[in-house]
């Protein structure tokens, strides 16, 4: 409905984007249609169910279904085995039916939702990492030895020899230590050198004392976990020369997740180094423990690289929580003498002296030598969750040819079987959030490393054993370079390889650009390499979503992707939520930069049992859900909103540079963003292509920023620092501290000299060229100093986002509280008329009451519980006339009397009841009403006097469900949230009026009813999380029902 208010005329539009926005809002384009994750669970599949599923999706406005063949964990195995001929036929049937219905299909690029693997992947094609075996030999002899592969499917990479560093074998375990502990039985096993013995570490605080016969020098502590997960803090102490305990170092032990997807070195030791300490008695104090087992502890005079297992990607971040500092470690102490480290110039390549059978023949030079036999072995990680028939090794993520081989083996096979005329319905290949852990080597990586960094990686391979090569700093740089290369190749060769093959076949790659456990990439480049991308957020778990959606929106904004999706409303709350429960969470996601939803989850229903197939995760978006077929108006709200949120580009004033470290799971907002501003994370790849326009940093995507915030790091490569210097010279503003050196071994040591010179140039003055450099102050002060005011001034628990196209501005503002509120908000726009666009109703109206002050348009706004508005500026401002921006409603007549209620369950015969007053079904004495789930139609007649007002509304009061109103034969769009109110001005008639209200609630109450003692269940579902005592949900039409007038 279009309204002209206060003399405002829509013919005054001067900006063409505003006209386009209105057209998109009133008739949303196909890009706004929500998609669904369409899970086919545990081979429970039927063509009849596929057709019914797709028809139901099309009916409510779903645009695309992403097929994932998964095992949800609740259902028994079906008869249509994945990868069988029947299964392929079902896949083709889904594509053919989607075409018939005008829909699109996306397919996960392997069985399971994570990630890219299957039975076609051979060990030499999978994700691999470096392992080694070693032996020590004495020089001055001809040495022959037959190496045996240390693991299955071992691929030799290098055979090397190097002189044994001083004190390399000088461990406390070789000095007959006396070990004692009051709480740890058999504590001496921890120093017995036998990896097959384990000691239980109780969860309570523990102390372990080690006494030696003489003073020993120690430089490192290494703790090897047992088979059981173990987490604890550990302090190493020693008795000093004054007889007092003195703390040497602190080590956090975290081997809480032994899954192979959290790193292939499942039982890799936890290691820390420290400056040399001499003592005879040592003590280890374990605190904050959660129990577990340890195999070995080694206090050694040999220096070891701190966290060398983690730094080579052998053990990854083990938690679902995504943090910017997940891959930061304490500094490694530099050994005090060169004899303690491996000299890279003395590392000898023996690879040519070993035949194909592993036989080595070598004339050993004088001295003691270590021979290192190093090769690749599979990490062992497989695609999941899927059935045995669909499971196999994960494909190598750093090899483009292998990524494309994987595509051909799965998606390619589907394309071969799909009739050419139907392939237009197959649009996306899907890779879900990354959950498959790390790899650190692939075929040809050594040569790739040398081309990329300009130095030979092979002399540094002993670092992977924990030894220090050249220096601790050089060793850390080598591992930094290795991690960075892994991240870059995962983006370019895995994601880029899949994208390239998709495009060759007329498809697009869609992925979620982050990982939780064990993500080895950089979230921005990983997402940027895809065609399309999305984030993820959960309903009912506020902590799952903030990082994930911002990872996606930042990648989308900086890499120029117009549509940024989100896996929406994943949840552990089955059969309890309905659209109105989802609204504020969905609105929140939009304020974070999301502008398209992929509803999670639609589980394929192979038959008509109800509620049917289900799992522990996801909101139930499927045809067997009670309210699904009535949800079109909710999806219309989503589509109208996304139509506006997909226009123009996001306005953000702050770019947080994520730095160059890898892996990188998210960025760091330090210092904090002040209220009233928006931000993106930005990486080096996009920053290197930026320019300055009108003192703003502008990316190729069109995104622009007033301030670049540097991460709280001491390192930066000279190439990106040189770019920042150039940006500042052209007028950019930078906030952050000067870097001290490069993190990389490329062009060492001259890289550090360049960084220091550039830092001196940039941080030596407050102004460099046309720009500014700030350090040590907050963002708000910086923004004020450069004249950038708040983009939107609004109260607590309101959220916003702002998009702009030309001179047209679109602000989305959301009330995140479940209460009505008023607030006066200010928008950084002047000279344009404010309008309110209501995406729930599709109404557009001008706002006559506003003022322009201090460079902002100030507007008094009103919000109902959970309301959100689009505030649009597109036309020249008219004179504000002081009229109210919002109608005020007053009751003029109550609709009272008896209601006939027709209950029409899908699981039993229809029945009828009479309600003398409107009450909650769940409080009813009749069990069939108390435990009712489904639709029920309330019928009543009421008499109305002659209409005296042209603006009359029917308000249903409290409704527990979705409601569809029919008045005198006219059906109104389904109401799914408060206020449950329709304009009846043109339908209300003098005299008698016939009113029907159809209400639908959730499945929950019926499921609880079926759990009652003695009940005969009328429902069936694969997953249950309720019982007889579960609390029922309010349900039905509770009223009061009134006719209102609007003034």
C-alpha torsion sign, points 689, 690, 693, 695 = negative
**Alpha-carbon Rg of the chain, whole angstroms?**
33
| Beta-bridge mates of residue 538 | 570
172-301, superfamily in CATH?
Galactose-binding domain-like (2.60.120.260)
Greatest alpha-carbon pair distance for the chain in Å reads 116
- Alpha carbons 52 and 923: distance in angstroms, whole number: 35
CA distances from 835 to 2, 642, 681, 690, 874 (A): 11, 18, 31, 34, 8
| Beta-bridge mates of residue 993 | 942
Q: How do 564-570 and 596-603 pair as beta strands?
A: parallel
The pLDDT of residue 767 is 62
Unique residue bearing structure tokens 């959030």: 433
SS (H, E, C) 288-338: CCCCCEEEEEEEECCCCCCCHHHHCCCCCCCCCCCCCCCCCCCCCCCCCCH
**Residue 1026's closest CA among 600, 627, 623, 573?**
573
The pLDDT of residue 804 is 97
Q: Helix, strand, coil proportions of the chain in percent (round to 5)? A: 25, 35, 45
Contact 424, 272 (CB under 8 A): no
The pLDDT of residue 15 is 45
The pLDDT of residue 517 is 85
Q: Which two tokens stand for residue 990?
A: 């003098």
In three-state secondary structure terms, 582 is: helix
**Residue 1047's closest CA among 835, 890, 891, 894?**
890
Unique residue bearing structure tokens 């609004």: 794
| Beta-bridge mates of residue 868 | 814
Contact 506, 497 (CB under 8 A): no
Report how far apart the first and last C-alpha atoms of the chain are (Å, whole number): 17
For the domain 890-1046, what is the CATH code? 2.60.120.260
Q: Which two tokens stand for residue 267?
A: 């039982």
Q: Which two tokens stand for residue 865?
A: 């519980």
C-alpha torsion sign, points 767, 771, 774, 778 = positive
Q: Which CATH architecture has domain 10-17+791-886?
A: Sandwich (2.60)
* Domain residue ranges in the chain: 10-17+791-886, 172-301, 652-785, 890-1046
**Residue 8's closest CA among 826, 810, 852, 873?**
873
Residues 6+ apart with CB under 8 A from 447: none
The pLDDT of residue 516 is 87
- Alpha carbons 764 and 752: distance in angstroms, whole number: 17
At residue 464, φ and ψ (nearest 5 deg) are -65, -15
Unique residue bearing structure tokens 């002189």: 163
- Alpha carbons 257 and 319: distance in angstroms, whole number: 8
The pLDDT of residue 766 is 58
The pLDDT of residue 948 is 65
DSSP H helices in 312-456: 400-417, 445-453
- Alpha carbons 28 and 26: distance in angstroms, whole number: 6
Domain 652-785 top-level CATH class: alpha beta
The pLDDT of residue 2 is 32
Buried b (16+ CB within 10 A) or exposed e, 707-718: bbbbbebebbbb
Say if 172-301 and 890-1046 have the same CATH topology.
Answer: yes
Q: Which two tokens stand for residue 618?
A: 């996801």
**Residue 790's closest CA among 694, 675, 696?**
675
Segments in the chain below pLDDT 70: 1-15, 765-767, 946-948
- Alpha carbons 256 and 318: distance in angstroms, whole number: 7
Q: Compute the half-sphere exposure of residue 1045: CA atoms within 13 Å on the CB side of its CA.
A: 7
Contact 679, 802 (CB under 8 A): no
Contact 617, 544 (CB under 8 A): no
At residue 598, φ and ψ (nearest 5 deg) are -115, 105
């Amino acid at each position: 409905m279009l309204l002209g208010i206060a003399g405002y005329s829509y013919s005054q539009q001067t900006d063409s984007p505003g006209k386009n926005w209105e057209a998109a809002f009133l008739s949303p384009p196909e890009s706004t249609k929500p998609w669904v994750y369409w899970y086919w669970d545990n081979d429970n599949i039927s063509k009849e169910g596929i057709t019914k599923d797709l028809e139901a999706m099309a009916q409510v406005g779903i645009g695309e279904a992403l097929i994932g063949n998964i095992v949800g964990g609740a259902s028994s195995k079906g008869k249509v085995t994945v990868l069988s001929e029947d299964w392929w036929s079902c896949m083709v049937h889904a594509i053919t039916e989607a075409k018939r219905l005008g829909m699109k299909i996306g397919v996960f690029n392997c069985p399971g939702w994570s990630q890219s693997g299957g039975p076609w992947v051979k060990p030499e094609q999978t994700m691999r990492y470096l392992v080694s075996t070693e032996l020590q030999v004495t020089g001055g002899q001809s040495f022959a030895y037959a190496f045996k592969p240390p693991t299955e499917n071992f691929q030799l990479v290098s055979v090397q020899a190097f002189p044994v560093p001083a004190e390399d074998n000088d461990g406390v375990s070789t000095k007959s230590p006396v070990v004692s502990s009051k709480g740890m039985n058999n504590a001496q096993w921890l120093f017995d050198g036998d990896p097959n013995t384990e000691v239980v570490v109780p969860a309570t605080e523990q102390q372990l004392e080690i006494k030696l016969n003489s003073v020993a020098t120690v430089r490192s502590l290494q703790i090897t976990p047992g088979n059981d997960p173990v987490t604890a803090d550990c302090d190493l102490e020693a008795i000093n020369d004054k007889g007092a305990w003195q703390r040497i170092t602190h080590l956090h032990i975290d081997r809480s997740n032994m899954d192979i997807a959290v790193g292939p070195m499942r039982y890799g030791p936890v290691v820390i180094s420290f400056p040399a300490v001499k003592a005879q008695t040592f003590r280890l104090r374990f605190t904050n423990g959660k129990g577990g087992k340890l195999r070995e502890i080694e206090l050694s005079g040999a220096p070891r690289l701190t966290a060398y297992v983690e730094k080579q990607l052998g053990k990854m971040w083990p938690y679902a929580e995504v943090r910017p500092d997940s891959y930061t470690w304490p500094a490694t102490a530099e050994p005090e003498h060169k004899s303690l480290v491996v000299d890279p110039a003395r590392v000898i390549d023996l690879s040519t002296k070993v035949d194909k059978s592993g036989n080595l023949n070598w004339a050993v030079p004088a001295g003691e030598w270590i021979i290192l036999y190093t090769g690749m072995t599979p990490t062992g990680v497989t695609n999941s969750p899927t059935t045995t028939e669909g499971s196999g090794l994960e494909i190598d993520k750093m090899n483009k040819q292998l990524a494309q081989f994987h595509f051909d083996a799965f998606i390619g096979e589907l394309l071969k079987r799909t009739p050419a005329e139907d392939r237009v319905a197959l649009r996306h290949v899907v890779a879900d959030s990354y959950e498959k852990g790390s790899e650190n080597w692939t075929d040809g990586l050594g040569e790739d490393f040398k081309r990329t960094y300009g130095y030979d990686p092979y002399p540094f391979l002993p670092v992977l054993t924990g030894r220090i090569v050249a220096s601790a700093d050089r060793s850390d740089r080598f591992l930094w370079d290795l991690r960075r290369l892994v991240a870059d190749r995962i983006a370019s060769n895995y994601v880029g390889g899949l994208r390239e093959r998709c495009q060759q076949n007329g498809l697009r790659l869609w992925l979620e650009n982050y990982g939780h456990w064990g993500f080895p990439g950089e979230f921005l480049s990983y997402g940027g390499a895809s065609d399309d991308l999305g984030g993820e957020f959960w309903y009912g778990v506020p902590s799952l979503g903030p990082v994930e959606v911002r990872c996606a929106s930042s990648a989308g904004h900086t890499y120029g992707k117009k549509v940024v999706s989100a896996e929406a409303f994943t949840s552990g709350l089955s059969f309890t939520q309905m659209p109105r429960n989802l609204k504020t969470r969905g609105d929140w996601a939009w304020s974070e930069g999301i502008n398209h939803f992929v509803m999670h989850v639609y589980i394929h229903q192979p038959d008509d049992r109800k509620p049917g197939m289900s799992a522990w995760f996801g909101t139930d978006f499927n045809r067997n859900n009670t309210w699904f077929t009535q949800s079109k108006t909710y999806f219309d709200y989503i589509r109208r909103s996304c139509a506006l949120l997909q226009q123009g580009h996001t306005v953000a004033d702050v770019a947080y540079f994520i730095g160059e470290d890898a892996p990188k799971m998210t960025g760091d907002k330090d210092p904090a963003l002040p209220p009233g501003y928006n931000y993106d994370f930005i990486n080096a790849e996009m920053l290197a292509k930026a320019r300055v326009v009108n003192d703003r940093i502008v990316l190729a995507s069109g995104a622009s920023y007033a301030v670049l915030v540097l991460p709280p790091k001491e390192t930066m490569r000279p190439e990106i620092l040189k770019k920042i210097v150039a940006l500042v010279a052209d007028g950019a503003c930078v906030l952050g501290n000067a870097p001290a050196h490069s993190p990389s071994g490329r062009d060492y040591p001259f890289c550090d000299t360049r960084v220091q010179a550039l830092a001196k140039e940039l941080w030596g003055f407050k102004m460099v060229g046309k720009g500014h450099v700030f350090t040590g102050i907050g963002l708000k002060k910086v923004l004020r100093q450069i004249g950038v005011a708040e983009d939107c001034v609004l109260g607590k628990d309101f959220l916003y986002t702002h998009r702009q196209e030309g001179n047209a501005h679109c602000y989305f503002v959301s009330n995140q509280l479940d209460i009505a509120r008023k607030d006066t908000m200010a928008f950084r726009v002047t000279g344009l008329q404010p309008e309110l666009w209501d995406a729930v109703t599709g109404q557009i109206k001008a706002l006559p009451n506003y003022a322009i002050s201090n460079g902002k348009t100030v507007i008094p706004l009103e919000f109902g519980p959970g309301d959100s508005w689009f505030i649009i500026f597109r036309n020249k401002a008219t004179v504000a006339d002081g009229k109210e921006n919002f109608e005020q409603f007053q009751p003029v007549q109550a609709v009272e009397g008896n209601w006939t209620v027709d209950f029409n369950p899908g699981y039993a015969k229809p029945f009828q009841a009479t309600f003398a007053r409107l009450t909650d079904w769940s409080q009813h004495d009749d069990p069939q009403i108390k435990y009712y789930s489904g639709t029920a139609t309330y019928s009543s007649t009421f008499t109305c006097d002659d209409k005296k007002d042209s603006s009359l509304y029917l308000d249903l009061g409290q409704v527990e469900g979705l409601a569809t109103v029919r008045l005198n034969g006219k059906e109104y769009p389904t109401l799914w949230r408060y206020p449950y109110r329709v304009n009846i001005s043109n339908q209300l008639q003098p005299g008698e009026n016939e009113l029907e209200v159809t209400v639908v609630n959730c499945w929950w109450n019926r499921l609880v009813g079926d759990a009652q003692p003695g009940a005969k269940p009328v429902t069936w579902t694969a997953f249950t999380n309720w019982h007889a005592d579960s609390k029922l949900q309010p349900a039905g039409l509770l009223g009061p029902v009134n006719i209102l007038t609007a003034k």
